[in-house]
A and B are shown apart, each in its own frame.
Chain A
Amino acid sequence: MSRNLEKNTAHLKQLFSFGLNKDFSTREITARYSNKKIKLFFYSSIVNSTKIHEGIIRPLLEAKGENLNSIITLEAIKELTDFDSIVDDINSGNVVLLLEDCKTAYSVNVADFQHRGIEKPENENAVKAPKEAFTESLNVNISLVRKRFHDKQLIAEAKPVGNRSKLDVTIMYIKDVVNNEVLENVRERLDQLSVDNVRNIESLEQYIEERPYSIVSSLLYTERPDRASSYLEDGYIVLLMENSSACLVLPVTFWSFFHSEEDRYLRFLFGNFSRLIRLVAFLISLLVSAVYVAITNYHSEMIPPDLLLAIVSARERVPFPVVFEIMLMEVSFELIREAGLRIPNPLGPTIGIVGALIIGQAAVEANIVSPIVVIVVALSGLSSFAVANISMNFTIRISRFLFIFAASFFGMLSLTGAFLLWVMYLASLRSFGVPFLSPLSPNYKSTNDTVFRKIIKNEYFRPGQIKPKDSRKKG
């Protein structure tokens, strides 16, 4: 930077294409305390103008004092000496002050990015749970977490990512609990990112995950601040970013995807009952179509005679093989689901009518599918909604087709093999060094919070598989 104000101004104006860039604003004032010119630069669209007026312009015009620090009434004033950091600061919503005959610039944070208010969780509903969800503002999100966990060791470390548009990724963790190896690994991965722009958590997840081709996600995506803070408490790491109404939790295990936060808010029996139902739903959704194909094609002797007769008479006029029938319905169900997700709200009911008509009634009456297949597929589709986590949901939906294929190949023999290999695949995975099925196997000292959980008073340990520094939670 030069001492010459005009020169600095011209350079900065050129950098930001002043004139062409409509919301890039500048204002010149003669300060009362020094009788020198001061220039303010900022984006008018991302700053709070009242704050500028009350906190900067008015004191400069009216107040007397020694230096800038004693005059400006806002919280923090940063000194900058190069244009790179000036540009960064203006981009992130600061106002930058250039002074006459001065080689340093001053930057004051007056950012006011627009965002939604705090609303209810949309995708992770719960009856007995707090109703706040993350929103698309980093500060609000951090505040939502801090509100739930008052600890001076709760760190919110910022790490800039992106070469062109720099955005901070905030790594939250509890300093004396978190495992340093995992933390270091996360920092490394963020450092190694070489990309122009990472807009939000959703893209960040794909940038830092370990196995992009895998069927299973290695980070947990949640929109509930209470869930995030309960993970933090156990020694997990949470990643937050501006522009995302959710956070990422790592390292994860299978159980993180299987559990819902409400299980812990419900009483012991109630929570475990809902987990049992979820486990059943999980298995039904994964296997029921495949088992139907395997049994009707290869092991029909297993079906009790009356039921067998019912199935046969229902299939009597259907021209297709069972596998084709099942695939037809499964694909239609996936179509309805995908279309239902994308359809504009006013048209919403249409999809219900069309879906119910085509899939439910017309297909059966036209003898394209048998009613039993409709039941089987509806059951498997319905059950897949009980697995609420979106990543696990996709895992199950894709695996289901693998199993149907396996079952059609050699009945229970290949289906059993496929399922075994599928489980072994899960068992062989690691997320940030943590075995995916632990603490089921391999076992670690933990509360063994797998399918069922213990009474909350008996949970003495943090999950041992993530190797927290402080493994004891209580007692």
Chain B
Amino acid sequence: MFKKESRLRAREAFAMIILMIGVKISNTTPSLFAQTGANAMWLMPSISFAVILPSVLLLYYLLKKYEDKNLVELLEEVLGKHIGKVIAFLLFLIFFLLLAIEGRSYTEQLKLLYFPDSPTPFVFFILFAIAFYGAKRGLETMGSASWIFFFYIKASVLLLAVLIFRETIIERIFPLFGNGLKQLVVEGAKKASLFSDLFLLAMAYTAFDSSKKFRLGVLSGFAFVFLEMTFFFFLYCTTFDYNSIDKVAFPFHELTQYVDMGNFFTNIETFFMIFWLFAAFIKYMIYLYFISWIFGAVFNIKEFEPLILPFAFFGIIAGMVPENAVINELVFKSSFMNMITPFFVGFPLLLWLVAKVKGDLR
């Protein structure tokens, strides 16, 4: 009964995109930014935002023009079957590698902070096992779960922001441009793939109740998460000073260890870790599901849900390739983020040009 309609509305898209990108506030991404941006890193998301925004808008504009097409179908429609499939496969590869790298990064954080005695592959396995079972429940359930947990996750983050506020010193943002404006702009632009999840979510364009609600949800979520990210990076910059900010590996967890609630509850980091974990689990569920989806769409596999298990497995294998956490973060993650930025900036542009030349946009 009632099978025709989709249960996914604007609010589900809103929650999903915020959880997917928002998780990056609390992982190692800010410390990556701090390597080059130093105390001005809170300005870097704005630069990334400015760089990626035209491409995002262009892509969503194209999706709107070619009604009832998801990302892969759009690629095939505009670029032809073969080139479209190649680009889509590239997308798949990029997101798969992101899954593996970020999965490893999470595992290392969890292991270092909470389970120092456990072997890395084992923590990795638990993380992905849970993500796998969640992804198996399907897109609608993931959307609902994102919305249900959204408030609690954001409430915990807000609480953290309130508690840390007395530790901050506003003057620490000076010099305003840190190591120099030019470097800031270049590095910020290089890391524009920070918002790459927006492209991944475009896969679900037709799965929603209406595409208008989807666009509304995703784009407002984008705006929200951008503001949230800037605000939190600002908090990091004002809590840790110029000298120490690039040495903090996990700024979010550092904050949670700083704060206390009165004299009795002094170690409340586990409390924040719970919500951080909720967000992380949901993010990997969405990732696993969408990666399998893109793969299925490229190779014409209609029933792609059985692919989730092998991709979860290969995700762990690929994630275990870097020798240690430092290499994973500073070499793989950093350079990979730089490498994929031109792709994400470029391919919507290419799509738009081809569509324009073909005359589809009139």
Interface residues of A (CB under 8 A from B): 181-182, 185, 295, 298-299, 301-304, 410-414, 416-418, 420-421, 423-425, 427-428, 432-435, 437-438, 440-443, 467
Contacts and interface: CB of A to CB of B under 8 A. Distances in A.
Interface string B97-131: 00000000000001000110010000100110110
Interface in B127-157: 127, 129-130, 133-134, 137-138, 140-145, 147-149
Point out which of A182, A298, A411, A417 has the most chain B C-beta atoms below 10 A from its C-beta: A417
Contacts of B138: 428
B264 A440 contact: no
Contacts of B133: 421
Given A428-B140, A442-B12, A417 B281 contact: yes
Contacts of B267: 301-304
Contacts of A438: 7
Contact of A416 (B9, B129, B137, B281): B281
Nearest to B7: A442
A186 to B, nearest CB: 11
Of A181, A182, A299, A467, which is in contact with the most chain B CB atoms at under 10 Å from its CB?
A299
27 contacts: A181-B1, A301-B270, A302-B268, A302-B269, A304-B266, A413-B127, A416-B277, A416-B278, A420-B130, A420-B149, A420-B281, A423-B148, A424-B142, A424-B144, A427-B137, A427-B141, A427-B148, A428-B137, A428-B140, A433-B3, A437-B148, A441-B11, A441-B143, A441-B147, A442-B8, A442-B12, A442-B144
A433 B2 contact: yes
Contacts of A417: 126, 129-130, 277, 281
A423, A428, A434, A441 — which one has the most chain B CB atoms within 10 A of its CB? A441
Contacts of A423: 145, 148-149
Residue of A182, A413, A424 contacting most chain B CB atoms (<10 Å): A424
Contacts of A411: 114-115
A299 B273 CA distance: 11
Contacts of A420: 130, 134, 145, 149, 278, 281-282
Contacts of B1: 181-182, 185, 432-433
Interface in B281-321: 281-282
B20 to A, nearest CB: 15
B274 interface: yes
Interface in B1-20: 1-3, 7-9, 11-12
Q: Which of B2, B114, B266 has the most CB of A within 10 A?
A: B2
A427 B1 CA distance: 17
Nearest to A409: B126
Interface of B: 1-3, 7-9, 11-12, 110, 114-115, 118, 123, 126-127, 129-130, 133-134, 137-138, 140-145, 147-149, 264-271, 273-274, 277-278, 281-282
Contacts of B118: 410
B22 to A, nearest CB: 16
Nearest to A181: B1
Contact of A298 (B114, B127, B278): B114
B256 to A, nearest CB: 11
Given A440-B147, A467-B2, 5 more contacts: A412-B114, A420-B282, A428-B144, A441-B11, A442-B12
Contact of A424 (B3, B12, B137): B137
Given A304-B264, A420-B145, A413 B270 contact: no
Contacts, number: 111
Contacts of A412: 114, 270, 273-274, 277
Contacts of B2: 181, 433-434, 467
B269 to A, nearest CB: 7
A441 B126 contact: no
A414 B125 CA distance: 11
B271 to A, nearest CB: 8
A372 B343 CA distance: 58
Closest 10 CB pairs of A and B: A433-B1, A442-B7, A417-B130, A441-B144, A428-B141, A427-B144, A302-B270, A416-B277, A441-B147, A433-B2
B332 to A, nearest CB: 24
Contacts of B137: 424-425, 427-428
B270 A441 contact: no
Contacts of B115: 298, 410-411, 413
A437 B270 contact: no
A26 B115 CA distance: 83
B8 A410 contact: no
Contacts of B274: 412, 416
Given A428-B137, A432-B1, A414 B126 contact: yes
Contacts of B140: 428, 442
Contacts of B9: 442-443
B140 to A, nearest CB: 7
A425 B277 CA distance: 18
B270 A299 contact: yes
Contacts of A418: 130
A280 to B, nearest CB: 15
Nearest to B264: A304
Contacts of B8: 442
Contacts of A299: 114, 270
Nearest to B282: A420
Contact of A413 (B11, B114, B142, B266): B114
Q: Which one of B138, B266, B269, B277 has the greatest number of beta carbons of chain A within 10 Å?
A: B277
